[in-house]
DNA sequence: CTAGGGTGTTACCGGTCTGTAACTTCCAGA
DNA sequence: TCTGGAAGTTACAGACCGGTAACACCCTAG
């Protein structure tokens, strides 16, 4: 009974939240709409009144995930207003904390692995949301005064993405344990280099 | 008609090869055993005479993948016998080449994303095969005379793993384009540091 | 030539999947 | 109190899934 989340709220919200949780835990193709609606304390007809298909529900879940990630960034800015470097270090800490939180990787990456049809509606939003996240990290690095901001941001992105899949494949005791060390080393190294 | 591979060979081999190809392209849950056997030019009964279940077929495919990867390592050793550093650079080049080969990431990582049941037979072999690959890369780094061989190997692993999912999510024009640059920079940096 | 094992064929089982139809119930707002 | 829309219920369609049974075939080893 781990998939609860049946607090009283509007059915659409319950369905969205439950679907996010279950997609994350069991994968997209591993969860049927019946299971979602049951866990959300409602029924299939209500789901199809709010979402025209399972695919649209998937897309909506991905967007909701991105919104939550965006809120995380805003929290960094609120916690260290103006101090971009502190925000970057906060990003590293937060990323590492989420690594050990659960053994499931990034929902977008997992969705991309599952939804292989090249024209699946989810693929477009995955790409656009990932690009937005990259842009945000690049901007943070640049505003933190780092010279090769793009390269650092991309390296950190790949490291984190890799750490997530590593946790998923070999567990949290594998290479991902070194993520903070790698990331901090990189930031220090890039800070040491000449700024543009 | 992209899923062919119906050359005349023993049915078991055809099934295994076809399944590897189709799992890679369409994901595990995206391919049914009927589709595999049809593409392999045989039928479902023959499949179940050679594999006791789809899960066992999946495991066998993963092992075959690992064997192919192992052959790649042997090729490095044959091409640059004794020169471990050259083999490491060859590894980087090969990894980068495979990145742009197709937009699908690592089969093991994809399988781990799809097969969420914690006791799925595939999860065990994924972990053991990934750990073997890590061991091999660590050994190569160590034999190349790098001091912090484990840290370099783990960093390179995460970078590659991350690059693979990046290709899968935003395409080959994203952060993964910088993979070689990142990897070579890391190797140079680790070589510059003091050796144990 | 014959026997037997590997293979192919067809049909089927029970279950699950997404998605829909038709109808009832409930509840809030006028 | 009445009404209209949102939500719940039941049943179903049509497809696909993994897996099995029973039987016909073919080809090679003896």
CA distance B114 to A113: 8
Residues B70-122 pLDDT 10s: 999 999 999 999 999 999 999 999 999 999 998 999 999 999 999 999 999 99
User: What Cα–Cα distance (Å) separates residue B89 from each residue in B93, B101, B123, B167, B173?
Assistant: 6, 18, 30, 21, 22
How far apart are the C-alpha atoms of A91 and A68, rounded to whole Å?
Answer: 14
The C1' atom of D3 and the CA atom of A58 lie apart, in whole Å, by 36
The reported pLDDT for the residue numbered B37 is 98
In the prediction, which pLDDT does A144 show? 97
* Interchain CB contact of B162 with A (< 8 Å): yes
Give mean pLDDT, residues A114-129: 97
The yes-or-no verdict on residue A196 having pLDDT over 60 is no
The Cα A183–Cα B9 span in angstroms is 49
Sign, Cα dihedral of B27, B32, B38, B44: positive
Tokens for B4, please give them: 């062919």
The yes-or-no verdict on residue A62 having pLDDT over 60 is: yes
Q: How confident is the model at residue A57 (pLDDT cuts 50, 70, 90)?
A: very high
Closest CA to A151 of B179, B105, B62: B179
**Å from A172 (CA) to C9 (C1')?**
49
Average pLDDT value for chain A: 94
Specify whether the CB–CB gap between B20 and B14 falls below 8 A: no
B25-82 pLDDT, tens digit per residue, is: 999 999 999 999 999 999 999 999 999 999 999 999 999 999 999 999 999 999 999 9
CA of A51 vs chain B CAs: smallest distance (Å): 23
pLDDT value at B196 more than 80: no
pLDDT digits (tens, 9 = 90+) for A70-105: 999 999 999 999 999 999 999 999 999 999 998 999
pLDDT, tens digit, 9 for 90 and up, residues B111-148: 999 999 999 999 999 999 999 999 999 999 999 999 99
Q: Give the nearest nucleotide to B37, CA to C1'.
A: C8
Q: Which pLDDT band, with edges at 50, 70 and 90, does B22 fall under?
A: very high
Mean pLDDT of A166-176: 97
User: What is A61-192's CATH number?
Assistant: 1.10.357.10
Distance of CA B29 to the CA centre of its chain: 19
Annotate A21-46 with DSSP letters as a single string.
Answer: HHHHHH-STT--HHHHHHHTTS-HHH
The mean pLDDT value for A55-80 works out to 97
- Which tens digits make up the pLDDT trace of A105-119? 999 999 999 999 999
Q: Residues 6 or more apart from A136 whose CB is under 8 A from it?
A: A73
Q: How far is the CA of B10 from the C1' of D27 (A)?
A: 14
Q: Does A96 touch chain B (CB under 8 A)?
A: no
Question: Which CATH superfamily includes the segment(s) A1-51?
Answer: Homeodomain-like (1.10.10.60)
Report d(CA B114, CA A98) in Å as an integer: 20
What positions of strand C are covered by protein, i.e. any atom < 7 Å from a CB?
6-11, 16-22
Mark yes or no for CB contact B30/A116 under 8 Å. yes
Using CA atoms, how far apart are residues B31 and B19, in angstroms rounded to an integer? 9
B5: pLDDT strictly greater than 50? no
Separation in Å, CA of B96 to nearest CA in chain A = 14
CA distance B183 to B152: 9
- For the stretch A8-54, pLDDT in tens is 689 999 999 999 999 999 999 999 999 999 999 999 999 999 999 99
Nearest to B36 by CA among B66, B9, B16: B16
- Say whether pLDDT at B4 is over 70: no
Nearest to B169 among A26, A30, A130 (CB): A130
> How many CB atoms within 10 Å of residue B68?
10
Q: What confidence score (pLDDT) does residue A7 get?
A: 56
Q: Which residue of B has its CA nearest to A182?
A: B155
A168/B109 CB distance under 8 A: yes
- b/e string for A158-170 if b means 16 or more Cβ within 10 A? bbbbbbbbbbbbb
Cβ-Cβ contacts under 8 Å, B109 against chain A: 113, 165, 168-169
CATH number of B62-192: 1.10.357.10
Domain ranges of chain B: 1-51, 62-192
């Amino acid at each position: 009974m781990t998939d609860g989340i049946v607090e009283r709220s509007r059915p659409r919200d319950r369905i969205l939240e439950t679907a996010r949780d279950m997609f994350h835990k069991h994968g997209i193709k591993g969860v049927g709409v019946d299971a979602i609606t049951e866990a959300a304390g409602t029924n299939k007809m209500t789901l199809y009144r709010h979402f025209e298909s399972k695919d649209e529900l998937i897309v909506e879940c991905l967007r909701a995930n991105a919104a939550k990630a965006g809120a995380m960034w805003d929290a960094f800015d609120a916690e260290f207003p103006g101090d971009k470097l502190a925000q970057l270090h906060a990003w590293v800490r937060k990323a590492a904390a989420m690594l050990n939180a659960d053994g499931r990787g990034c929902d977008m990456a997992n969705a991309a692995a599952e939804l292989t049809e090249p024209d699946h509606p989810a693929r477009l939003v995955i790409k656009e949301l990932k690009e937005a996240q990259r842009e945000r990290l690049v901007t943070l690095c640049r505003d933190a005064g780092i010279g090769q901001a793009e390269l650092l941001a991309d390296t950190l992105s790949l490291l984190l993405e890799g750490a997530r899949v590593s946790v998923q494949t070999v567990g949290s005791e594998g290479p991902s344990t070194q993520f903070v060390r790698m990331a901090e080393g990189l930031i220090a190294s890039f800070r040491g280099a000449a700024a543009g």
